[in-house]
Every structure is written in C-alpha cells, then in structure tokens.
Amino acid sequence: MDVFWGKNCPHCLDQKPFLSELEERYPQLQIRQHEVWRNRFNRELFQLTAREHGVDADSVPAVFVGGKAFFGDAPFIRKQIEDAVRSFLNRKQQPDDRPAETLAPESQTDRGSPANAATTIDVPWLGTIDLVRQPLIFSTLLIAFVDGFNPCSLWVLTLLLGMVIHSGSRKRILLVGLVFLFTTATLYGAFVAGVFKVLSYVAYLIWVQWLVALFALLFGLVNVKDYFWFKKGISFTISDKHKPGIYQSIRGLLNPERKGLALAGATFVMASGIALVELPCTAGFPVIWSQLVRSQQVGTIEFLGLLLIYLLIYLSIEIAIFLAALITLKRQNFEEKHGQTLKLIGGMIMIALGIVMIVAPDMMNDLTGTLIVFSAAVFAAAVIMLVQKMRTDTE
C-alpha cells in the first residue's frame, strides 16, 4: 500500500492510527508512506502513481492498494480501504492454504467483482448512484433547497416579474425570466466553485474548518436576529441604498423598443449587477456546503456533478415562481414577514451546521446524522415561531 500525505494535513493525521491498526491486523500488508507537500520527489511519485491508476493527484491523503485509489478520510473510506486490502490478500492466497485466522470471510467484493459493487445501485434516468456518497448527496439536496428560499433572490425575482407582467407579453416574460435565471445560475455557480477552490488550496490548515464553522455561526445568528429585529444592526440583506438602482434597471426592461438580443443583453447586465449586490445575502450556505464537500475529498468530476445538483435545486423555487407568473400573468407577492420567516429557518440550519462542524463533523457522513441535524434546526425554528406568536397574541 502506498500512502501519500501532507505535513500538518488534519485528515492525514487522523488516518495514521487507522493505517497502523490495519498493518497490525494484516501482517502481509506493507505500507509505504510518502510526504508530498515538502518532498518534490514524492510529489512526482504521487503524480505518476495517480496517472497509472487513471485518477488526478489533487488531494491527500491518497491511498493506493490492490489497483484501487482512495482519497480522503472518513468511516466509509476506511471500510473501502480495508475491503480492498482483504480482497487483494485473499486473491493472493491459494484456496487450500488460506489461513482463516488471518483473513476475514470472503465477501462478494472479494470474489473479483468491483470493490464498490455492493454500495452502488442503478436508478432509471439517474444512472449509477454510490450509496456511500448518499449522505453528501442528501446534504447537498437539503442545503440547496433551503438556500433556494433566499429572501433577497425571491424579492428581486418577484419584483422583476411583477413589473414585466404589466407588458402583457408572455414572450417578454419568457425571455427576461430565462435570461435572469441563466445569469443567476452562472454567476452563483462560479462563486460556489471559487469558494470550493479556495478552500481546497488551504485544506491543510486545520483552522480553516473552525473558521468556516464560526462563519456559519455568525451568519446564522445574524439571520435569526433579523427574525426579531429586521434590518437593525448587522443584516445580510439588500441595502435600501441599492433598491432605487434596482427599480431603475428593471424599469428599463419595460421599454417596448427593447426586443430580442437587446432585451436579453439588458436583462443580463441587470441580473449581473443585482447578483453582485445581493451576494452578501446569499454567501452563507455556499461557503458551508463547499467546506462540507471539500472535507469529503471529492474529485473534480464529482464536485461538478454535485454543483449541478445544487444549482438545479437552488433554482427550483425561482423556476416555480417564474412558471406561475408566465402561465397566470399574475404577480406573486413576497412580503417582509415571509423574508423574516425564511431567515429564521435558514439561520437555525446554519447554526446547527456550524455546531456540528466543531463538535461532531462525522455526523454529516451519515444519512441518519444529516437528518437529525436538519430536523433539529427546523424544529427549533418552529418552536421559536410558536413562542413569538404566543407572545404577540398575549400583547
């Protein structure tokens, strides 16, 4: 087994005791350690070994054994590594002299089938899904869905559609809506990818996870504060000083002389400007999600797939509002009280995720743990709303 690691890499340090135990349980196993962040020769060896296995040498710890490659450190990754070791050693033993006391009973993966055959399922239209990644996919779906209820984005979209509806033209609504959603998805996706890339570069710094956790706690507390004292003090929302400019930009789209490419171009410029203005309002969940994905040491292709899922779920709320406006030609009202409720729910989820990052980060590697975190946050938000309503009724 070849193990490539980096000095001061927290995941590498966490994995070392497991590798030592693995070497004790399997005397036939020889583990060769290669530090790559300070040793140029080892970095070149890492790249060569990765290339021979058909993978990218883009993260550590990286374990190569039995013709397979494993990146990162998590309970399910350790299980896969041990399964690969046991499978390889079992294949090396002759059937008649296999020592039962040394090797565990042969499983389905030990009989020559792919190492992940027992952890994958084929789903129509979706293809093959790896069940060991299910918690990460499930977390992506939940975080993106909650992020989609962003008060700033929903306010801008309903305002935009409300004004364009007055034109009475479904073609104009369709063009403006599609360009706005496309621009939002592109810029938001670029922002999330940038955050992920930055976190990947500083992954070896152990304080990064703590910094992201504190960011989540701060962001969450400010959003919860907005439920009680909206826009008082620190507030991650669109500033009132930017609203006149937004109104003016949207009114410019109502000019009947603007059609086709001119209208699409004006919408793109307007949407880009608004995306930059509302970025502080939307930055919370992408940072938390990027840290969660980065901690799982996913590859580039897998990250892009998860990002696509994130964007589709994130936009699903806005797409529903857009289609409703297109079909009914009626404006959907988005009031301040709706924004406060969404901020409370989102804030409680951010606080829960921040606490989990500090206290028990492995909870997000388990489907049950992920459900507990989100359910507890939503339940706490519901209790707060109930108590607030009772206080208001009493007064």
What would the mean pLDDT of 182-207 be, rounded to a whole number? 76
pLDDT per residue as tens digits for the range 376-386: 888 988 898 88
The type of residue at 305 is: G
The type of residue at 212 is: V
pLDDT per residue as tens digits for the range 275-311: 776 666 777 788 888 877 876 666 678 788 888 999 8
The pLDDT value given to residue 2? 94
| pTM (2 d.p.) | 0.58
Q: Could you write out the DSSP letters of every residue in 208-249?
A: HHHHHHHHHHHHHHHHHHHHHSTTSSS--S--GGGHHHHHHH
Count the Cβ atoms, other than its own, within 10 Å of residue 137.
Answer: 17
Q: What percent of the chain has pLDDT over 70?
A: 72
203 pLDDT above the threshold of 60: no
Please, which residues have CB within 8 angstroms of residue 28's CB and are 6 or more apart in sequence? 89, 92, 102
| Cis ω before 61 (30° cut-off from 0) | yes
Rounded Cα–Cα distance for residues 343 and 227 (Å): 6
Rounded Cα–Cα distance for residues 315 and 318 (Å): 5
Q: What is the DSSP letter of 93?
A: S
Cβ(246)–Cβ(281) under 8 Å?
A: no
Query: Quick one: tokens of 380?
Result: 């706490």
Rounded Cα–Cα distance for residues 288 and 292 (Å): 6
Cβ(364)–Cβ(339) under 8 Å?
A: no
The pLDDT value given to residue 249? 67
pLDDT per residue as tens digits for the range 97-138: 444 444 444 333 333 333 343 444 444 444 444 444 456 788
Rounded Cα–Cα distance for residues 108 and 92 (Å): 16
Cα 335 to chain centroid, rounded: 28
The pLDDT value given to residue 134? 59
The pLDDT value given to residue 344? 84
Rounded Cα–Cα distance for residues 145 and 196 (Å): 19
3-state SS, residue 96: coil
Please, which residues have CB within 8 angstroms of residue 2's CB and are 6 or more apart in sequence? 32, 34, 49, 63, 64, 65
**12: confidence class by pLDDT, cuts 50, 70, 90:** confident
